[in-house]
Structure 1
Amino acid sequence: MGFLDIDNTTKSYGAVEVLHNVDISVQEGEFLVLVGPSGCGKSTLLNMIAGLEEITSGEIRIKDSVMNGVHPSKRNIAMVFQSYALYPNMTVGQNITFGLEMHGTPKPEREKAMREVAKLLQIEQLLDRKPGQLSGGQRQRVAMGRALVRNPDVFLFDEPLSNLDAKLRVDMRTEIKKLHQKLGTTIVYVTHDQIEAMTLSTRIAVMNGGYVQQLGTPQEIYDSPANIFVATFMGSPAMNVLPAHVRLQKDAPHAEFSLHDGSLALLPFSQKNLAAWEGKEILLGIRPETLTDVDGADRKSSNIAEMTNRIVVTEPAGSDTFVSMQLGGKDVIARMRSDAEVRAGQDFTFAVNMEKAVAFDPETEARIAP
């Protein structure tokens, strides 16, 4: 049993069920990120935790107390919105302490809590300003301060960084992570940005179509995706997925797929149970960074295979060079070092880290478990 339990929870609007049997247990101090495309149900689930949406069936519990039907003000949660939701006619200090004032907290306690939070967020110099005088990043810090000052059981963040520019988003991401490490608070955070999900979370729930597709640590989600949706949604560039067949060579399973000229590559799997798929078609998943030049291959891997294929396009990107080619009739991206000597039209020897290769069932699109 967790600090926050979402137990077999569903949400329907009339006859349409938009959240299907969600089961997530969040431990105290955990940073859970709900990630997925627009319309997947992540914000609806967050609103159900907050009490802003009613639960159709199932239970939501905080500290073992059932929250079904409990008013949002009685749940001891604090929410940080995408839109900041600050009162424009109040100063920063008044915005931060307004919730405490509404709950009847004496003024000396409010002032003390405000000063502590302002120092933590480094906004002490802003306390007498109005929101209209602040930048987007400063406003978001004030919104976070208003949540922190209440010392709630659970913090809920609803895409809090999506209104910020790219550099500020990275800076605020770092600040939120440092804040969590310092305070050890329990956070549920909604985003559509998979980089945010990977960098901030202790665990991720990947959602699509109202279902939790996979729940796990960032490393589990990235290295062992439950299905093709998770594999291609998490990671930038996305995982390459191409058709292949399983062939046995000396009783060991190999992935067979076509190269640019129609010839076949035969690369050994580390996953021995794939021998049972001999002769069958699979979908082979290869992350771009596991497809590189021979000198740049992971020296810790016990299964580096080589193949020669023609480069179609090169894309220098500062710290990396991305290379496009055709494998299995699909466009595939490899990630090289910035100084890799590659050019379009060149036949190049690639190193493939088959220890990291993932096989999917083409019918169900689920990962074939080791």
Structure 2
Amino acid sequence: MGFLDIKQATKFYGSVQVLHETDISVEEGEFLVLVGPSGCGKSTLLNMIAGLEDITTGEIAIRGRSMNGVKPADRNIAMVFQSYALYPNMTVSGNISFGMEMHGIPKAERARRIAQVADLLQISHLLERKPGQLSGGQRQRVAMGRALVREPDVFLFDEPLSNLDAKLRVDMRTEIKKLHQKLGTTIVYVTHDQIEALTLSTRIAVMYGGYVQQLGTPKEIYDNPANMFVAGFMGSPSMNLFPAKVVDSSGKPAAEVRLSDGKTAAIPFADGALSSNVGRDIILGIRPEAITDRDGADRNSQSVHMVDAPVEVTEPAGSDTFVVSQIGGKDVTGRFRADVSVNAGDIFPFAFNMEKAVVFDPQSENRIA
């Protein structure tokens, strides 16, 4: 049993099922991120934990106590919303203390908690200002402060950074991670941004179509995606996914791929993987950092293989150059060193690190190796 247990939870709106049987157990101090595209069910699940949405079937429990039918105010949770939801006529101090006042916490204790949280979030100098006098980042800190002073069992974050500009979003991401490391609080965090999910979480639940597609650590999700949706959704740039066929190449199983110039190449699998699948059509998945120039390839890998392929596009990105070729009719992106001399139209040697390759079934889209 975990600190927060979601057991076979479902949600229907009339006859439409938006969340299918969901089982997640969150340990105390964990940072769980629910990530997926719009409409995948992540915000619905968060609202069910908060008590803002009823559970159709199943159970949600906190500290072993069932939350089914328990009002939001009686769940000892605190929520940080996308919109901040601050009272414009109150000062920062008033916004932070409002929830404590409603729960009858003595004034001296309120003052202590406000001072403690304001110092932690570096907003002590803003306590007498009103929300209209604050920047977006400052307002988000106030919203977080209002949640922190509650000292709840579970913190719920509903896309809290989506209204911020790109740089501030990165800064606040770092602040939230620091906060979790300092306090060791239990957090469930919703986002559609997979970079936020990978950088913040201790575990990720990738959601799509009302189902949890995969639940695991950031490394498990990134390196060992359970299916093609997870592989393509997590990572930036996303994993390359292109058709291939398992063939026998000099007595070893290899992925045969078709290049844009009409030629084919056979790329051997690492460790003889898929030796029993010769002749099978597959989808090969490999991340851009595992496709690079010869000198940039992983020197510790025992399975780096060169493929001479036509270059379609080069995209300089400062510390790297992204190089695109077409394989199996799909654009395939490699992450090359910034100083590599390569141009569109070149036939260039791409180094494939097949130790990092994964294989999916084209019909079920599930991983097979």
Tell me if TM exceeds 0.5. yes
SS at match of 1:306: strand
Runs of 4+ with deviation above 4 angstroms:
none
Distance between the aligned counterparts of 2:185 and 2:3, measured in 1?
Answer: 11
Residues 243-295 of structure 1 show CA distances to partners (whole Å, capped at 9, x for unaligned) of 10011235432111112222211111126441221101000001111111000
The equivalences for 1:203-352 within 5 A come to 203-270=203-270, 272-352=272-352
Structure 1 match to 2:355 = 355
Percent of aligned positions with the same letter in both sequences? Answer: 72
Distance between the aligned counterparts of 1:157 and 1:259, measured in 2?
Answer: 45
Q: Give the counterpart letter for 2:337 in structure 1.
A: R
Structure 2 match to 1:37 = 37
Distance between the aligned counterparts of 1:212 and 1:279, measured in 2?
Answer: 32
Confirm or deny: 8 A CA contact 2:238 2:287 kept in the other structure: yes
Structure 1 match to 2:78 = 78
Distance between the aligned counterparts of 1:153 and 1:299, measured in 2?
Answer: 47
User: In 2 relative to 1, CA 147–271 (structure 1 residues): closer, same or farther, beyond 3 Å?
Assistant: farther
Q: Give the counterpart letter for 1:200 in structure 2.
A: L
SS at match of 2:270: coil
TM-score, normalised by the number of residues in structure 1: 0.98
Distance between the aligned counterparts of 1:261 and 1:43, measured in 2?
Answer: 46
- CA drift of 1:167 comes to 0.3
Residues 141-174 of structure 1 show CA distances to partners (whole Å, capped at 9, x for unaligned) of 0000000001100000000000000000000000
Structure 1 match to 2:56 = 56
- CA drift of 1:304 comes to 0.7
The equivalences for 1:139-154 within 5 A come to 139-154=139-154
Confirm or deny: 8 A CA contact 2:294 2:349 kept in the other structure: yes
- CA drift of 1:217 comes to 0.5
Q: Give the counterpart letter for 2:226 in structure 1.
A: A
Q: Which runs of 5+ in 1 are unaligned?
A: none
TM-score, normalised by the number of residues in structure 2: 0.99
Q: CA RMSD in A?
A: 0.9
Confirm or deny: 8 A CA contact 2:247 2:278 kept in the other structure: yes
Which range moved further: 128-137 or 275-284?
275-284
Distance between the aligned counterparts of 1:11 and 1:137, measured in 2?
Answer: 34
Distance between the aligned counterparts of 1:59 and 1:358, measured in 2?
Answer: 36
Distance between the aligned counterparts of 1:143 and 1:266, measured in 2?
Answer: 55
Structure 2 match to 1:196 = 196
SS at match of 1:157: strand
SS at match of 1:248: strand
User: In 2 relative to 1, CA 47–133 (structure 1 residues): closer, same or farther, beyond 3 Å?
Assistant: same
Structure 1 match to 2:115 = 115
Which range moved further: 334-343 or 47-56?
334-343
Confirm or deny: 8 A CA contact 1:251 1:275 kept in the other structure: no
Distance between the aligned counterparts of 1:143 and 1:64, measured in 2?
Answer: 28
Answer yes or no: is 1:89 the counterpart of 2:89.
yes
Confirm or deny: 8 A CA contact 1:291 1:334 kept in the other structure: yes
Q: Give the counterpart letter for 1:232 in structure 2.
A: G
Distance between the aligned counterparts of 1:55 and 1:184, measured in 2?
Answer: 28
Confirm or deny: 8 A CA contact 1:289 1:335 kept in the other structure: yes
Which range moved further: 5-14 or 300-309?
300-309
Structure 2 match to 1:6 = 6
User: In 2 relative to 1, CA 222–183 (structure 1 residues): closer, same or farther, beyond 3 Å?
Assistant: same
Confirm or deny: 8 A CA contact 1:10 1:56 kept in the other structure: yes
Aligned residue pairs total: 369
SS at match of 1:68: coil
Confirm or deny: 8 A CA contact 1:92 1:131 kept in the other structure: yes
